[in-house]
Structure formats: C-alpha cells, structure tokens
Amino acid sequence: MSARDLFSAASAAMKNAYAPYSRFPVGAAVRTEAGAIHAGCNIENASYPEGWCAETTALGHLVMAGGGRVTEIAVVAEKMPKIMPCGGCRQRLAEFATEDAVLHLCDTNGVLETVPFSAVFPRGFSFEDGK
C-alpha cells in the first residue's frame, strides 16, 4: 500500500471541511493494520472551542467502523504545507497508533515528508505509565 491513497482520502475529506470562520480547511486520514482507511475534516463552530479537528473526525470514523490500530496518518491543509496535528490530536492519535506508526506530512499535491509518529509525540499520557 502506498501513502498516495491515504493522501487522496485526506485531500478528499478536506474538500468537505466546514471552516467558515478560519477559512482553514484541513483533511486527515488514518490507515489501520487491517488496511482500512478512515478520513475526516475539520468542523468549526461559532464557539471556537466547540469545533473539532480533522484528525478527531477521522478517529471518530475509525471507532464507528469497529476500531483498530493505526499504522499510518496523513494530514493536509489547503494553506499550510506539512501541517502537524495539534497537541490534543497527537494525544488522541497516540491512543490508537501502533509503536511504529508513521505520519505523512503533505501539501495539496501529495506527501512531502514521512516521520515516525513517536518522533512528534514521544511521551503521550497513558494509564499504563502510572501502573
């Protein structure tokens, strides 16, 4: 499987973004160990803290489809090449990511860089840490 299909899903999701306030559409897609792809877009709200990010929407689709472990993540924004997930989304993604999951940083033409997810979020909160 190539990262291109994951980028395509994130890019298609971005086109459905509801971003009337920021005018900053974002799309994200995750791939599970089983190969399933789940995509999402950002959805804003007039009360800014009540909106949610593209990564959160993609994870919601993952959970609604029965879950799974995430091996790849792609994020694309119309106005920012190589956009990174925000801190909250990094924590949400960490809940589902495998130890060797990768993050594809994209522009509107495709994947620009691939990094280990653990490099961008090395020590997320976990109940396992506190035993």
Active site residues: 55
How many CB atoms within 10 Å of residue 112? 13
Sheet bearing 70-77, strands edge to edge: 37-41, 26-32, 70-77, 97-107, 110-116
How many CB atoms within 10 Å of residue 65? 11
The residue assigned the tokens 């495709």 is 110
How many CB atoms within 10 Å of residue 45? 12
Residue type, 13: A
Q: What is the pairing mode between strands 97-107 and 70-77? A: parallel
